[in-house]
Amino acid sequence: MTTKLKVFIVSHRQCWRPRDCYELIWVGPNAQAFKGENDFVDSAESVNISQKNRNFCELTALYWLWKNLAKDLDIGLVHYRRFFGKWGVVYPQGRVFKAVDYERLLSQAPIIVPTKRNYYVETVWSQYAHAHHEKDLIVLRSVLVEKYPDYLDAFDSHMKGRKTHLYNMFVMRRPYFDSYCSWLFDILFEVERRLDISQYSQNDQRVFGFLGERLLDVWLLKNKIPYVEAPVVFLGHQNWFKKGFNFLARKYGFKTIG
């Protein structure tokens, strides 16, 4: 089967969009307010879980793509502020990948993921436990024990490591995309049934998006799927001092910066 590539930009607001192989997919409310002004896919139409966006974040867009797109498409997912890109170009928008860049990397491996985040002084498990709620991981592991016990070694190995791919960003050849989504949502929907998040902060209620980030590496590791990494280009200001301070503050029990 001949496939085409489409990379979807997840957004809840008007944003810059390169044309080429990109298309905008809207998540959250207020999509109708921008109909006619921008061409985009509304993740609240057709088969969807858009009502879960507060808790699943960009994964509501991922679910829509999995359930509704034609099978002759290879699929990528990026964010309105984060794109795959390259170094060496002065202005960020000029660094954003085009279709030719994706196809070059996909000729090397069937999956493209962001360059790994290295926590250095934390494991993947302890970083999550300090940043969110450790019980999220405990419930997640219990679901794997029951539904996917053959993934436990990969899960435990990844959680003991210090590096992980973040952002729920990737580009996948379609057979891998379908396989990953089927596995991912089966797990997350079961965790959702078991996990009480009624007392969580607004940020921690995004729990299933956070767990999805950690599960990608488990799936890659268990299935020994080859992948290539690509830098992430950030559009807009990033307060790296604040991010770094809060990372250390959570680990050592200090007050974070709001």
- Tokens (6 digits) for 178: 């379908």
Is residue 73's pLDDT more than 50?
Answer: yes
Neighbours of 158 (CB within 10 A): 23
CATH number at residue 53: 3.90.550
pLDDT for position 100: 95
Name the pairing type of β-strands 170-172 and 73-79: antiparallel
pLDDT interval class at 37 (50, 70, 90): low
pLDDT for position 258: 41
Over residues 126-168, the pLDDT tens digits come to 999 999 999 999 999 999 999 999 999 999 999 999 999 999 9
Instruction: Say if 257 falls within a structural domain.
Output: no
Instruction: Say if 24 falls within a structural domain.
Output: yes
Is residue 256's pLDDT more than 90?
Answer: no
pLDDT interval class at 247 (50, 70, 90): very low
**Residues of the chain with pLDDT > 70: what percent?**
84
pLDDT for position 94: 81
Task: Give me the domain span that covers residue 8.
Answer: 4-252
Is residue 119's pLDDT more than 60?
Answer: yes
Average pLDDT over residues 226-245: 70
Q: What is the count of structural domains for the chain? A: 1
**Which of 110, 80, 108 is CA-nearest to residue 18?**
80
- Tokens (6 digits) for 231: 């830098």
Q: Could you tell me the pTM of the whole model?
A: 0.89
Instruction: Say if 173 falls within a structural domain.
Output: yes
Could you tell me which residue, 236 or 170, shows the higher pLDDT?
Answer: 170
Instruction: Say if 151 falls within a structural domain.
Output: yes
Q: How far from 118 is each of 75, 127, 147, 233, CA to CA, in Å? A: 26, 11, 29, 17
Average pLDDT taken over every residue of the chain:
89
Handedness of CA 242, 239, 134, 226 (dihedral sign): negative
Could you tell me which residue, 238 or 127, shows the higher pLDDT?
Answer: 127
pLDDT for position 93: 78
Instruction: Say if 258 falls within a structural domain.
Output: no
pLDDT for position 182: 98
